[in-house]
Amino acid sequence: MKTVSASAHARPGRAAASAMAAALGLALGLGALLAPPNPAEASAPGSPVAVSRVEAGRTVVAAASPSLSRPKLTGSIRVGSRLRANVTTTGRKSDFLHYEWLRDGKPINGAAETVNYNVKKADLKHRISVRVTATFVGGVTLVSTSAKTEKIRPRLIDDPTSGQVVVNKRRPLKPKTFVPLALTMPRGIANNGQPVRPSVARAIEKMHKAARADGVGLRMISGYRSYALQRQTFNAYVARDGVRAAETYSARPGYSEHQTGLTVDLGGYEGCDFDFCFASTKTGKWLKKNAYKYGFIMRYPNGSQKITGYIWEPYHFRYVGTKVAKNMKKKKIQTLEQYRGLKAAPNYG
C-alpha cells in the first residue's frame, strides 16, 4: 500500500491559495478570483461592507452596503419643550428620511416627516420614541427605532417638584396634597420650626449672613406648611374674618405657595410682623433692596392684587433662584404671572 504523507493533504497557506485561485481564474478566462477574506479584517457588525472585484488588471470597489444608525433623541422631556431625532446613514446616498413619532410605541397623529417633535400636554406621563425609515438610491429601505424616553414631565411652572413652579388661585398644586421630597431647617437664623427645601435653606443662610453684616436683624417666621396645616390656617382665618376677606390674604389648601417649601414669611425685631408696616422697617427696606441677590422675590407686591389675587404682603418672599430673581429685577417685572406670561389669577374662577 502506498503511503501518503500528511503534508500532501494539508490545506495550502493563504498566499498559496491566492495564487492557485488566480491561476485557476486565468485558466478559465475569468480574470482573477479573490482569496477568502481574513476574519481579522472583517467589518464590525452594522458597518457597511464594500465589495471589490478585479477588472482588466485593476481592482474596482463597489459602493458600500447602506446602513442606518439607531436614532438618538436629544432635548427636554418636559411638556412645551422639543425633542430632536439624530441619525446617521452610511454607504449609498439616502434618497430621503421619514420620521414617525411614537407615544408608548404607537404613532402620534400628525407627528410625521419631521426631525423635531414638540412635546405636548397629551404626552404627559407617556414615553416618546421615533421610527426612522431611510430609502436609499437603488430602492434599499432600512428602518430603525429609537429607545423610549423616560416619562414626559410637566412644564417647570406646572411641576411642584420644580423650583420654578407657579402656584396661584388658578393654578393649584398637582396633587393638591403635594409634599416636597426633602425639607431642612436653615442654620443660624431664628425660625419657628418650619423647614424649607434645601436650596431655599442655603439661600436664606447666605442672606441672613449678609443682613447681619449690614446690621439688620432677620428671622424666619413661616416656611413650609403641609396641606393639613394650610387647611387649619385658612379655616381659622375664615372663622375670624369670613371667606371673602380671608381669601385676600390666605390661600385655600392645595393652592398655597407655602406647600411648595419655596416660600417664607420673613420678619425682623422692630415689630410689624405680618403687616404692611413691615415695609417701612429697617429689615423690610433691606429685603426690598437686597433679596433678589439671593434668589428671592416679594411674591405679592403692592398694587398687584388683580394679578396675584392677594393683597400686599411685604414680608412674603418666594425663592426662584438668582437667575430668575435678577432677571425680573433687570426687566422691572414684579410678579411671576407676568414674568411667565400667565393669565392673571385674581380669584379662584
In a domain, 173, yes or no: no
Same domain, 224 and 327: yes
CA distance 66 to 89: 7
CATH code of residue 74: 2.60.40.2700
Same domain, 283 and 216: yes
Same domain, 211 and 328: yes
In a domain, 10, yes or no: no
In a domain, 230, yes or no: yes
Q: Is the pLDDT of residue 84 over 50?
A: yes
In a domain, 41, yes or no: no
In a domain, 4, yes or no: no
Nearest-5° angle of CA 306, CA 310, CA 311? 95
CA distance 223 to 181: 15
Q: What is the dihedral of CA 263, 269, 273, 279, to 10 degrees?
A: -80
68: left (phi over 0), alpha (psi -120 to 50) or beta: beta
| Domain endpoint, select from 145, 180, 208 | 145
Same domain, 209 and 274: yes
Q: Is the pLDDT of residue 16 over 60?
A: no
pLDDT of residue 92: 67
Same domain, 300 and 235: yes
CA distance 167 to 340: 12
Same domain, 330 and 202: yes
Least confident among 13-17, 190-194, 209-213, 272-276: 13-17
CA distance 72 to 146: 6
Where do we find the cell 441672613?
208
| Domain endpoint, select from 145, 180, 206 | 145
In a domain, 48, yes or no: no
Domain count, the chain: 2
Which residue would you say has higher pLDDT here, 283 or 18? 283
Same domain, 72 and 140: yes
Same domain, 235 and 331: yes
| Domain endpoint, select from 84, 118, 145 | 145
In a domain, 287, yes or no: yes
pTM of the predicted protein model? 0.73
Q: Which domain holds residue 245?
A: 198-339
Mean pLDDT of 214-221: 97
CATH code of residue 210: 3.30.1380.10
Same domain, 116 and 230: no
CA distance 89 to 144: 11
pLDDT bucket at 62, cuts 50 / 70 / 90: low
Same domain, 203 and 140: no
pLDDT of residue 33: 31
pLDDT bucket at 344, cuts 50 / 70 / 90: very high
pLDDT of residue 96: 81
Same domain, 123 and 230: no
Hey, how many other C-beta atoms are within 10 angstroms of the C-beta on 331? 10
Which residue would you say has higher pLDDT here, 225 or 65? 225
**233 to each of 37, 221, 227, 259, how far by Cα in Å?**
81, 14, 10, 12
In a domain, 221, yes or no: yes
pLDDT of residue 309: 98
pLDDT of residue 190: 94
Same domain, 225 and 323: yes
